[in-house]
Amino acid sequence: MDYNLPKSDKPVVCVLSGGLDSTVLAYLLKKHYEDVRLLAFNYGQRHSIELEKAKITAGKLNSPLKIIDISFIGDIVKDVCSLSDKTTVSLPTNEESKDDVQANFVVPYRNLVFQSIALSYAESLRAEYVFLGIQNGDNNGFWDCRPNYYEKLNELTSLNDLYKIKVLTPFIDLTKVEEIALGEMLGVPFEDTWTCYKGSKDGKPCGICHSCAERLEAFKKLGLKDPLNN
């Protein structure tokens, strides 16, 4: 269960959204590396509850967490993205977004901003690796979650003459079902993760957005009960 994780005696950086993918990844990395640094982003997302989940995970893993405020992004994209807390467009249900996986919940170039900051942090730590929880369901729908994107990103980082850092995506070929199965093996408390795009005022997900539907279906296929949807 090493997922081709390279050896390193230096700190490693893990981008932790508070979602299911990155939380499972954080638990995996803690089993392989002594010093895991967690990095989360407030990008003006309507589901900022995920940041509270990230804090809980950091505490349980005893790993330092930095939350970077880039909330200006939410304002920039509000007219095209339903995930902004200032959005002017409605969030589609899973049924409404079936014919367009990207629909209006793409946050334009968000991932590149995240990764640039993560790389900057990694270099400051003299870390060799930045880890992301991208999984197969993401790369089917989003251009900046595909293997060829990360190949090009690593080509770009290789131009750095001062310090070499690689961006790694151990789950990029895993389905959500496989990822949850791994989380079960690692003892991940799934109640500490957040998936719903809509956000929450009562700690409960909406159950009908694309992200919720994908999560619920994966738990169902494994015969498991999602603790957030009991």
- What per-residue confidence (pLDDT) applies to 85? 84
Tokens of 70: 């880039």
The pLDDT of residue 100 is 61
pLDDT under 70: residue ranges of the chain: 1-2, 96-103, 138-141, 201, 230
pLDDT in tens, 68-106: 999 999 999 999 988 888 888 877 777 766 666 566 778
CA 24, 35, 139, 53 torsion: positive or negative? positive
3-state DSSP assignment of residue 216: helix
| Of 213, 215, 194, nearest in space to 92 by CA | 213
Give me the residue label for tokens 């392989």: 32
Predicted local confidence at residue 137, as pLDDT? 73
Q: Alpha helices of the chain — where are they, by DSSP H?
A: 20-32, 49-61, 72-76, 110-125, 136-141, 147-157, 176-186, 210-221
What is the amino acid identity at position 89?
V
108's tokens = 């334009």
CATH of domain 12-225: 3.40.50.620
The pTM of this model reads 0.94
Q: Which residues face 129 on adjacent strands? A: 166
